[in-house]
């Protein structure tokens, strides 16, 4: 090819790139937060949190410190930007959010063990239990005053951040009343039950439920996998919610194990989907955790972050906006929201798994899931 | 030789090469040896931290586990099929582009390369919405009455192959155009003037002369297919396991770093061997062709 041709191609490509970059922001839909950002933090003097949190923050100066927080992007990130970050910035801190999934974060904190670059990391329950044991996360303590107000269940790993239940999302045309777990095994629905991606809390919960339907529990994986295999063929392994709820709305899928709260926004869009809190056996408890990374160079700032994140105000925002149940017993939730989330007495009705055992089985179970459920 | 290569150390050259060499050592060689070492460590169920006890077990599992073997088979099959389809689609297009005048040629080139700027993720997201059960393609086919039940494109090999072919088409077209553009048109005219019809000209003149580009393109595309991750993980919807998705599952979801390291090493060696094999075969093919022609004219 001639040099001239290359120059020409290069020029046109450059113009193309410029054109695309110029258009990109306009092409990306800007999603507005569901609620307006809370006010009152702009000046840095007013504190509209609970007295404990305000007292804990009073007089602190974080000037020159940057806190690095690893967390999921999207709705959770928005709540943090609205509620948790402004008061810290008012005290002089800078916050750097690292968005992504918990797998990436787990890999990062273990790889950087002893010399972390991330100060706070949001993890799921089994990762936090293991991480505390392996010395990559701090065990929860009253260094964060909100610790004293947490439900006992929220102290088993790091600081429990949100409580969710693994229940059943279902097509409301097919099930006139909210189904129980056993209903998924009705031969009529064979090949129409979507599975979660494995490994993950949803899959672990589904394994535990299948074992319980056989009169066993998660310690008997043989019973569980035999029962799950009865649901084959699997129409969909869901990795994103849009796909599974669209297919459920159309009736290609009649039900799927699902974390509480996820179905609500789709229900509100007018899709024919609902969420069931099964009672026999009950939903499986899952819990997001806030972990302070051991060896953080900004521990005071990390503690302040944890206090703000676990405060009733933040926890109530989680409940009202994304239907995640609070772990702080002082958080107040309106009755209509309470019905949709893990809250109050419902906390006790959920099945708590033996997470240490489940973690130790993850590799074996992934193998079995691949071979016995996904393989044709 | 001594006259050409002075014994003196060429300091300026070393100085110029040092930054890139250092960078490669740090970002490639060091992690590679880390990977190699980890692959001989022992996984402890329930924790991310492996024991440093030496074991061959990870490699045993890589090579003997029946599920792993089915993953390799699936990956190779999908990659080969996608490469063949890419080649068949790319060839006529490359020929068309090669025949154009410079200005048109560069415009067409840009059109071919442009989708690559967006990256695999954006392209795959586009395919997801097109191929979905209730997406644009199924919707159009259904409203035209061509099909009654939606075609399942996603969660199977079909969707992945469609995605791969689209992603890597430019990798095939570019070397093909270079090869086809270099063919002297008078050779084809000579064949025609000697009475060969269009088909014969193509198979006995054009195609053999374009082989270097075809082989280069095929190796590039095959390697890209074998190592792809985003396309199979999104269009396979967790139901199709290939090299990339399996490595991700073991490394980032299960956190079995020793096994995933062994798997990665195997994977590197495997793709390397495939590349060597393909280039060896193609060279052998070209040589035998030349020998056959020489025999013909002797």
Q: Over its length of 376 residues, how does chain A's per-residue pLDDT go in tens digits?
A: 444 554 455 554 444 444 443 333 333 333 333 344 444 344 445 789 999 999 999 999 999 999 999 999 989 999 999 999 999 999 999 999 999 999 899 999 999 999 999 999 999 999 999 999 999 999 999 999 999 999 999 999 999 999 999 999 999 999 999 999 999 999 999 999 999 999 999 999 999 999 999 999 999 999 999 999 999 999 899 988 988 999 899 898 999 999 998 998 899 999 999 999 999 898 999 999 999 999 999 999 999 999 999 999 999 999 999 999 999 999 999 999 999 999 988 888 899 999 999 999 999 999 999 999 988 6
Identify the pLDDT of residue B205. 87
Element holding A256 (H helix, E strand): strand A255-259
Query: Phi, psi (5° rounding) for residue A159?
Result: -90, 115
Identify the pLDDT of residue A45. 56
Task: Determine the 3-state secondary structure of A169 from DSSP.
Answer: strand
Identify the pLDDT of residue B298. 64
Task: Determine the 3-state secondary structure of A146 from DSSP.
Answer: helix
A232 Cα to chain B: minimum distance (Å): 12
Neighbours of A165 (CB within 10 A): 25
Chain A residue with Cα closest to B128: A243
Lookup result for tokens 């974080």: A62
Query: Phi, psi (5° rounding) for residue A288?
Result: -85, 145
User: What's the mean pLDDT in B190-195?
Assistant: 90
What are the helix (H) ranges across chain A?
3-27, 51-57, 75-79, 85-90, 102-111, 125-133, 201-213, 221-229, 241-250, 264-268, 299-310, 312-322, 335-338, 346-349, 355-368
Out of A107, A237, A247, the one facing B133 most closely (by C-beta) is A247
Identify the pLDDT of residue B289. 76
Considering the domain B73-254 in this protein, what is its CATH number?
Answer: 1.10.3720.10
DSSP structure string for A357-372? HHHHHHHHHHHHIIII
Q: Locate the domains of chain A by residue range.
A: 51-163+286-348, 165-285+354-374
Considering the domain A51-163+286-348 in this protein, what is its CATH number?
Answer: 3.40.190.10
Distance separating the N- and C-terminal Cα atoms of chain B: 37
Q: How many angstroms separate the Cα of A190 from the Cα of each of A69, A206, A231?
A: 43, 16, 6
B80-116 pLDDT per residue, tens? 999 999 999 999 999 999 999 989 999 998 999 888 8
User: What's the mean pLDDT in B249-273?
Assistant: 93
Q: Which residues of A touch B110 (CB under 8 A)?
A: 9, 12-13, 16
Neighbours of A43 (CB within 10 A): 7
B20-66 pLDDT per residue, tens? 999 999 999 999 999 999 999 999 988 888 999 999 999 999 999 99
Chain B residue with Cα closest to A360: B46
pLDDT range class, residue B5, cuts 50, 70, 90? low
pTM of the shown model: 0.83
**How many CB contacts within 8 angstroms connect chain A with chain B?**
107
Q: What is the ipTM of this complex?
A: 0.82
Buried b (16+ CB within 10 A) or exposed e, A176-201: eebbebebbeeeebeebbbbbbbbbb
Torsional sign, CA A178, A183, A187, A191? positive
Q: Which residues of B touch A374 (CB under 8 A)?
A: 238-239, 241
* Class of domain A165-285+354-374 as given by CATH: alpha beta
Residues within 8 A of A (CB atoms), B 12-51 only: 43, 45-49
Higher-confidence position of B149 and A309: A309
Question: Helix/strand/coil (H, E, C) string of chain B?
Answer: CCCCCCCCCCHHHHHHHHHHHHHHHHHHHHHHHHHHHHCCCECCCCCCCCECCCCCHHHHHHHHCHHHHHHHHHHHHHHHHHHHHHHHHHHHHHHHHHHCCHHHHHHHHHHHHHHHHCHHHHHHHHHHHHHCCCCHHHHHHHHCCCCCCCCCCCCCHHHHHHHHHHHHHHHHHHHHHHHHHCCCHHHHHHHHHCCCCHHHHHHHHHHHHHHHHHHHHHHHHHHHHHCCCHHHHHHCCCCCCCHHHHHHHHHHHCCCHHHHHHHHHHHHHHHHHHHHHHHHHHHHHHHHHHHHHHHHHC
Identify the pLDDT of residue B217. 94
d(Cα A283, Cα A164) in Å, to the nearest integer?
Answer: 9
Using an 8 Å Cβ cutoff, are A229 and A373 in contact?
yes
Average pLDDT over chain B, rounded to an integer: 90
Cβ distance of B238 and A363 shorter than 8 Å: no
Identify the pLDDT of residue B74. 94
Identify the pLDDT of residue A40. 39
Lookup result for tokens 């199979």: B232
Lookup result for tokens 């090669």: B98
């Amino acid at each position: 090819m001639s040099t001239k041709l290359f120059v020409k191609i290069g020029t046109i490509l450059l113009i193309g790139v410029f054109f695309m970059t110029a258009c990109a922001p306009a092409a990306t839909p800007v999603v507005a937060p569901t609620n307006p950002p809370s006010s009152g933090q702009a000046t840095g003097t007013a504190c509209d949190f609970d007295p404990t949190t305000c007292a804990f923050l009073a007089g602190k100066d974080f000037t020159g410190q940057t806190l690095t927080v690893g967390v999921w992007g999207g709705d959770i990130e928005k709540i943090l930007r609205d509620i948790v970050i402004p008061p810290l910035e008012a005290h002089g801190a800078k916050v750097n959010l690292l968005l992504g999934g918990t797998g990436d974060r787990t890999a990062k904190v273990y790889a950087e063990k002893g010399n972390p670059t991330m100060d706070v990391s949001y993890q799921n329950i089994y990762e936090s239990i293991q991480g505390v044991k392996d010395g990559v996360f701090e065990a929860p303590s009253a260094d964060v005053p909100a610790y004293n107000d947490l439900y006992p269940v929220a102290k088993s790993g790091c600081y429990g951040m949100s409580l969710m239940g693994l229940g059943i999302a279902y097509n409301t045309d097919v099930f006139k009343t909210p189904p129980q777990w056993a209903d998924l095994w009705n031969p009529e629905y064979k090949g129409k039950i979507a599975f979660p991606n494995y490994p993950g809390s949803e899959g672990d919960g589904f394994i535990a439920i299948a074992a319980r339907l056989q009169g066993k529990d998660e310690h008997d994986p043989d019973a569980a996998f035999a029962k799950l295999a009865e649901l084959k063929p699997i129409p969909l392994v869901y990795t994103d919610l849009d796909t599974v709820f669209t297919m459920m709305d159309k009736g290609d899928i009649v039900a799927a194990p699902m974390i509480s709260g996820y179905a609500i926004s789709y229900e509100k869009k007018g899709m024919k989907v609902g969420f069931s809190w099964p009672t026999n056996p009950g939903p499986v408890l899952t819990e997001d955790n806030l972990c302070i990374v051991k060896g953080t160079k900004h521990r005071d700032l990390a503690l302040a972050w944890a206090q703000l994140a676990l405060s009733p105000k933040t926890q109530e925002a989680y409940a009202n906006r994304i239907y995640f149940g609070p772990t702080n017993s002082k958080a107040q939730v309106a009755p209509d929201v309470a019905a949709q989330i893990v809250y109050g007495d419902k906390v006790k009705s959920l099945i708590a798994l033996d997470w240490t055992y489940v973690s130790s089985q993850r590799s074996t179970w992934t193998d079995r899931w691949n071979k016995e459920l996904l393989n044709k | 030789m001594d006259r050409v290569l002075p014994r003196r150390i060429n300091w300026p050259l070393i100085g110029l090469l040092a930054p890139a060499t250092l960078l490669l050592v740090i970002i490639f060689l060091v992690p590679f040896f880390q990977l190699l070492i980890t692959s001989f460590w022992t996984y402890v169920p329930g924790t991310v931290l492996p024991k440093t006890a030496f074991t061959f077990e990870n490699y045993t599992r890589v090579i003997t586990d029946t599920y792993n073997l089915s993953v390799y088979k699936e990956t190779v099959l999908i990659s080969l099929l996608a490469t063949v389809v890419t080649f068949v689609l790319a060839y006529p297009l490359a020929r068309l582009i090669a025949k154009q005048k410079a200005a048109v040629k560069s415009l067409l080139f840009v059109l071919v390369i442009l989708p690559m700027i967006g990256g695999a993720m954006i392209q795959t997201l586009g395919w997801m919405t097109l191929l979905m059960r209730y997406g644009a393609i199924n919707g159009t086919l259904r409203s035209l009455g061509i099909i009654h039940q939606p075609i399942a494109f996603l969660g199977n090999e079909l969707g992945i192959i469609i995605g791969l072919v689209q992603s890597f088409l430019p990798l095939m077209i570019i070397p093909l155009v270079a090869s086809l553009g270099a063919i002297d048109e008078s050779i084809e005219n000579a064949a025609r003037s000697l009475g060969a019809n269009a088909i014969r000209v193509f198979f006995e003149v054009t195609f053999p002369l374009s082989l270097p580009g075809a082989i280069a393109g095929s190796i590039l595309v095959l390697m890209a297919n074998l190592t792809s991750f985003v396309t199979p993980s999104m269009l396979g919807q967790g139901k199709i396991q290939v090299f990339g998705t399996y490595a991700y599952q073991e490394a980032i979801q299960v956190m079995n770093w020793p096994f995933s390291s062994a798997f990665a090493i195997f994977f590197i060696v495997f793709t390397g061997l495939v590349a060597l094999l393909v280039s060896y075969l193609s060279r052998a093919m070209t040589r035998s062709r030349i020998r056959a022609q020489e025999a013909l004219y002797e």
